[in-house]
Amino acid sequence: MIEKMKFLSITGPKSEFDRIVNVYLTKYDIHLENALAELNTVRNLRPFVEANPYRELIDKSEELTNLLDQKDPAGDEIIPAEKASEIINSNFSKLQEFDAKRKKLFARRDELEDLKRQIEPFRSLEFDLNKIMNFKFIKFRFGKVAHEYYNKFIKYVYENLDTYFYECDRDRDYVWGVYFSPSAEAARIDAIYSSLHFEQIFLPNSYEGTPVNAYKAILTESDEVGKELSQISEQMKQVVREHAEEILLAKRTLSLFTKNFDVRKLAAITKGKGNDEVFFILCGWIEEQYSEAFLQDMKQEKGLYCTMEEGQESQLTKPPTKLKNPKLFKPFEMFLQMYGMPAYDEVDPTSFVAITYSLIFGIMFGDVGQGLFLAIGGALLYKFKKMNMAAIVSMAGVFSTLFGFVYGSVFGFEDVITPLWLSPMENVMTVLLTAVGFGVALIIIAMIINIINGIKAKEFGKIFFDTNGIPGLVFYSAAVTCVLLAFTGHTLPATIVLVIFFALPLLLIFFKEPLTHWIKKSPHIFPESKGMFFVESFFELFEVLLSYVTNTISFLRIGAFALSHAAMMGVVMLLAGVQSGNPNIVVIVLGNIFVAGMEGLIVAIQVLRLEYYEMFSRFYKGTGKEFKPYK
């Protein structure tokens, strides 16, 4: 069922806003709406806009708590905002000195990483870097060149050039090295290397010895910087640990005040008449069962006013939907959420889905052994993991077990127990016709639910002229009755009866649009293009008639999967050599696991398809919004 809602509006002095939010919006489940949107006809309303004073403190508290292993304080205590601000600021200031040192070390670590990357390709150069840097009559350049240009350089240019290239390293793309040239020829040789796309790299002159020595010195310094950073981080953690509980408490308090402050986005403000006092207005929905208690609390507040209205009669936004179902059916709400929450004025189909889904699954997958396996496995998963899907599997497994007794099937063995009804493979037509009859009953129930939805929503066109309303129900029931009479050899009703039960409903469906306009007293009953109206209505009516047939036949899959399960287990028994009297237990076990897993998944999907396309499409809109209380 869907909980009844009441629309409330709270008005009071702006100075009382935070207290009201802290006290009442955390005590009661209230789904807030945008007050400006709800009260758009009221004059002199303005958005409640203020800068959040807690945002910077929240960022500081995040930095502090990131240094802690514990993330939540003990208990539910909330301290004053001023005290929370003081705790965060005082502890954050203690870390400023450490943080400054850490930033310098981070900068130095990045510098060392750059130096390491620069020197790494030149480690095979066995010359003192400091000496090379101080050459007077010979110029040098460190760098890299692509393989393509390097090969051309060596083949065509190198022998005729006053230069020496020392290769240090190479990778997939480049050759790394250093070239030397006389100072007098440096400009010309530099130009030649540049034409070969030689990319110069500038090495630091702050290291002595070979590149290997410089590389090792960088690694050593980098390790020392890392150790210093670890020490500072540990010192920072130690400072924060000493005040961990109060820091976490302050953060929780500030987070709550920040959340409360954000409620301003949904509120509106206005000035009182004859004075400059500013008032806030807050709107939302509350469950009917808690509305009286809320009103009694509001009466004790001086200067605060609260009004309540029933349902959605004068509201721009429809009430949110809160589902209330027995614990057994509650997991099936997941299927509704996947399709769309029911509108506030709709019938909650959770119970219908829970019963029909489990029943259809059992009919399609009837096996005592495999059903017990699904029921127990799903129940255990739900108990320990709280998975809604596991609860659904468990419920489906229970019905699978029950229909296993109906079919006389235990882990695929058809001769262990006597079937309470019949064995599917021995009564194929009976199973298929029963499946169609069951589908007919479900379609009729779906139409009845659609009529109830139309009555609740006061949509008369939906009730009296819809394909799933009263005309559709009468026509479909009459058609099914006639087919049943014909199959059983009985005489069809008189012509006048057939006209009433066939022609009249079809005419109502055909003229649904103008008849709906007529009931609503619309000035334009027929559309301007009457010819196009008749053509479209004719094809739509043809589609409706076709859908009645196809939707009914679609339920054949229920019987088909019951037969399929028996056939697949028959193949498993054949492969296991059951008829020989010496069955292979391993094949039987693996076969049962395979069938239970694969066919169970396929059946679960097919049942959901029947729910959505053959039943939901007849009565369910799924246009509701979920009830989301502020707290």
- 301/365 same-domain check: no
Residue matched to tokens 């997958």: 365
Distances, alpha carbon 421 to alpha carbons 7, 387, 409, 442, 474, in Å: 54, 34, 11, 21, 32
**Which of the listed residues 209, 242, 259 is the one where a domain comes to its end?**
209
Q: Is 595 a domain residue? A: yes
**Which of the listed residues 177, 209, 241 is the one where a domain comes to its end?**
209
- 28/161 same-domain check: no
Confidence (pLDDT) at 314: 46
- 456/604 same-domain check: yes
Both tokens of 484, joined, read: 């049943």
Q: Are 29 and 629 spatial neighbours (Cβ–Cβ below 8 Å)? A: yes
**Which of the listed residues 257, 276, 310 is the one where a domain comes to its end?**
310
For 184-223, b/e burial (b = at least 16 CB within 10 A) is eebeebbebbeeeebeebebeeebeebbeebbebbeebbe
For residue 316, what pLDDT band results from cuts at 50, 70 and 90? Answer: low
Q: Which amino acid is at 70?
A: Q
- 335/192 same-domain check: no
Residue 255 reports pLDDT greater than 90: no
Dihedrals phi, psi of 211, to nearest 5 degrees:
-55, -30
The dihedral sign for the CA sequence 376, 380, 386, 389: negative
- 296/334 same-domain check: no
For residue 207, what pLDDT band results from cuts at 50, 70 and 90? Answer: low
Residue 498 reports pLDDT greater than 80: no
Mean pLDDT of the chain: 86
Which residues fall within 8 angstroms of residue 537, CB to CB, at 6 or more apart? Answer: 510, 511, 513
Q: Which run of H or of E encompasses 413?
A: none
Both tokens of 176, joined, read: 């790394």
Q: Is 393 a domain residue? A: yes
Confidence (pLDDT) at 403: 94
Q: Is 150 a domain residue? A: yes
Q: Which amino acid is at 259?
A: K
- 337/429 same-domain check: yes
Q: Is 53 a domain residue? A: no
Residue 455 reports pLDDT greater than 70: yes
- 142/274 same-domain check: no
**Dihedral through CA 431, CA 433, CA 435, CA 439, nearest 10?**
-170
- Closest by CA to 605, choosing from 337, 328, 333, 361, is 361
Residue 35 lies in domain: 5-48+267-310
Mean pLDDT (whole number) for 301-317 = 73
Both tokens of 495, joined, read: 């012509």
Beta-bridge partner residues of 269? 46, 280
Q: Is 258 a domain residue? A: no
Confidence (pLDDT) at 273: 65
Q: What is the DSSP letter of 579?
A: G
Residue 275 reports pLDDT greater than 70: no
CA distance linking residue 163 with residue 180, whole number of Å: 6
For residue 49, what pLDDT band results from cuts at 50, 70 and 90? Answer: confident
- 463/543 same-domain check: yes
- 410/465 same-domain check: yes
Q: Is 86 a domain residue? A: no
Name the residue with higher pLDDT: 520 or 322: 322
Residue 247 reports pLDDT greater than 90: no
- 547/431 same-domain check: yes
Residue 311 reports pLDDT greater than 70: no
The CATH number given to whatever domain includes residue 277 is 3.30.70.260
Q: Is 235 a domain residue? A: no
- 407/373 same-domain check: yes
The CATH number given to whatever domain includes residue 182 is 3.30.70.2750
Both tokens of 434, joined, read: 């029963």
27-36, 100-109, 233-242, 600-609: least confident range: 233-242
The 10 Å Cβ neighbour count of residue 562 is 27
Q: Any alpha helices (H) in 285-367, and if so which ranges? A: 288-299, 333-339, 350-364
Read out DSSP for 457-502? HT-HHHHHTSTTSHHHHHHHHHHHHHHHHHHTTPPPPPHHHHIIII
Q: Which run of H or of E encompasses 63?
A: helix 55-65
For residue 411, what pLDDT band results from cuts at 50, 70 and 90? Answer: very high
Both tokens of 576, joined, read: 């296991």
Burial (Cβ within 10 Å: 0-12, 13-18, ≥19) of residue 581: exposed
Mean pLDDT (whole number) for 359-368 = 93
Confidence (pLDDT) at 331: 93
Read out DSSP for 244-303? HHHHHHHHHHHHHHHHHHHGGGG-EEEEPTTS--EEEEEEEEEEHHHHHHHHHHHHTSTT
CA distance linking residue 571 with residue 586, whole number of Å: 15
Global confidence as pTM: 0.72
- 394/533 same-domain check: yes
CA distance linking residue 285 with residue 291, whole number of Å: 9
Number of structural domains in the chain: 3
Q: Is 146 a domain residue? A: yes
